[in-house]
Amino acid sequence: MAVPPEQTSDRELRSRHSHEPKSEWIVAHAVASPTRLLILLLSLAALWGGAFFGYEALQPGPKVGSGSLPADVAFQASKLSPATLDALATLRATATELPAPGPGDWLSEHRESGQTFQQYVTGSPTLPRGRRRFLCVAPLGPFTQPEEALLDETCAYLERYFGLEVRRLDPIPLPLDGGGDDGLPASAVRLTGRGFGPQVRSEWVLQKVLRPRLPDDAAVLIGFTARDLWPGRGWNFVFGQADLRRRVGVWSLARLGDPAGDEAERGMLLRRTLQVATHETGHMLGMRHCIAFACNMNGSNHLAESDSRPLDLCPTCTAKLVWATDVRLGERSRALAAWRAKRQL
């Protein structure tokens, strides 16, 4: 893994753009008068044609395997430090474009438009700010000793990956029989499952279990469970699921391997767990699926596809991470490289 050069802080270069034009606002105000109709037309021109009245136009999203869009690279130059831009240029030189999806792959079954850096910045993502500086992790349901050790490793990795302190919360029980305050109702459990034991509905966990427990000082809260997950009707399972706006997410160990297996299997399980955990945390920080490069933020429809994804972020998603967290790329790269080398990842 290449180590980008050190950079100065990007904090002073960051802008939330909380007042960018919204198509919903334009539609709601389109019919009141000829003057507002003129404003509508000018606003549409701003959205599609460039900067107007101080608002910066959103660029079209990338195409599958398109790499970095020149306009988006130019926008990064206005938001990030020169040292960060140099590091990102090095990453772009070695980045792999995402190949066309095969049958059954994520992009074969889910139409996605991707997300440029500019779309991320102007989309008001969740950012670690003020008191909300911690990544909080909550164990959900019963855990074996090997699973506990895996969670410890994952928390240590998350700190290095995002450059934020991880705080581990007390375990939360998830009884399947509906007993106790945290018991799952029948609508949130599928006892027949899909080959990995009873399934828990991930959306119920997000809204009913995690959201009420979101600490005041948490940037995000992610639940970690050994139970198999499914999001609801029409789905067989999910590896994990996150709510981009409500700052909660959950991921599952159930389909990733045997924590009590041999050394090779435990190594593969660790890699898969780290990948799902960082992917879902990226979602909670507002990152959508990446379609331009091979990237940790690519969607995956099955385990073989997930195993083909890199642990690293692509240049565009790395730019999002730096802008969001103010992490120093050089320090981050060295910490991750040392941690992975020790575990032969």
H or E element that contains 138: strand 134-140
Q: What is the pTM of this model?
A: 0.77
Residue 131 shares a structural domain with residue 53: no
Residue 47 shares a structural domain with residue 136: no
Total count of domains within the chain: 2
Q: In 3-state terms, the chain is what percent helix, strand and coil (to 5)?
A: 40, 10, 45
Is residue 54's pLDDT more than 50? no
Residue 40 shares a structural domain with residue 188: no
Cα separation, 320 vs 218, in Å, equals 19
The answer for residues whose C-beta is within 8 angstroms of residue 39's C-beta and 6 or more apart is 29
Q: What whole-number percentage of the chain has pLDDT above 70?
A: 78
* Banded pLDDT at 233 (limits 50, 70, 90): confident
Residue 187 shares a structural domain with residue 276: yes
Q: Is 280 a catalytic residue?
A: yes
Exposure of 237 in the CB half-sphere (CA atoms within 13 A): 22
β-strand pairing of 199-201 with 228-230? parallel
Tokens linked to 295: 């990237």
Residue 147 shares a structural domain with residue 281: yes
Is residue 96's pLDDT more than 90? yes
Catalytic one among 20, 147, 280, 305?
A: 280
Residue 163 shares a structural domain with residue 244: yes
**316 Ramachandran zone, left/alpha/beta (phi>0; psi -120 to 50):** alpha
Residue 136 shares a structural domain with residue 274: yes
Residue 135 shares a structural domain with residue 44: no
Q: Residue 121: phi, psi to the nearest 5?
A: -60, -40
pLDDT on residue 326? 92
- Domain limit, last residue, from 249, 267, 286: 286
Residue 165 falls within a domain, yes or no?
yes
* Banded pLDDT at 40 (limits 50, 70, 90): very low
pLDDT tens digits for 148-198? 999 999 999 999 999 999 999 999 988 775 554 556 788 888 888 788 888
- Domain limit, last residue, from 7, 32, 57: 57
Residue 265 falls within a domain, yes or no?
yes
Average pLDDT, the chain: 80
Residue 256 falls within a domain, yes or no?
yes
Residues 338-344: contacts with CB within 8 Å, 24+ apart? 339/156, 339/157, 339/160, 340/1, 340/311, 343/153, 343/267, 343/270, 344/267
Q: Determine the average pLDDT of the residues in 202-207.
A: 92
Residue 229 falls within a domain, yes or no?
yes
Quote the distance between the C-alpha of residue 127 and its chain's center: 12
pLDDT tens digits for 245-286? 889 999 999 999 988 889 999 999 999 999 989 998 999 899
State the residue for tokens 């970095």.
68
Residue 165 shares a structural domain with residue 35: no
**Cβ atoms < 10 Å from Cβ of 167:** 16
**Cβ atoms < 10 Å from Cβ of 140:** 23
- Are 93 and 25 in contact, with CB atoms under 8 Å apart? no
Residue 231 falls within a domain, yes or no?
yes
Residue 262 falls within a domain, yes or no?
yes
Is residue 333's pLDDT more than 50? yes
Q: What whole-number percentage of the chain has pLDDT above 90?
A: 57
Q: Which residue has the higher pLDDT, 20 or 180?
A: 180
H or E element that contains 223: strand 218-225
Cα separation, 176 vs 25, in Å, equals 44
The boundaries of the domain holding residue 160 are 126-286
Residue 166 shares a structural domain with residue 275: yes
Is residue 39's pLDDT more than 70? no
Residue 245 shares a structural domain with residue 167: yes
Residue 36 falls within a domain, yes or no?
yes
Residue 311 falls within a domain, yes or no?
no
CATH assignment at residue 138: 3.40.390.10
Residue type, 287: M
Residue 132 shares a structural domain with residue 260: yes
- Domain limit, last residue, from 286, 315, 336: 286
pLDDT on residue 182? 55
The edge-to-edge listing of strands for the beta sheet with 189-190 is 189-190, 199-201, 228-230
Is residue 105's pLDDT more than 90? yes
pLDDT on residue 235? 86
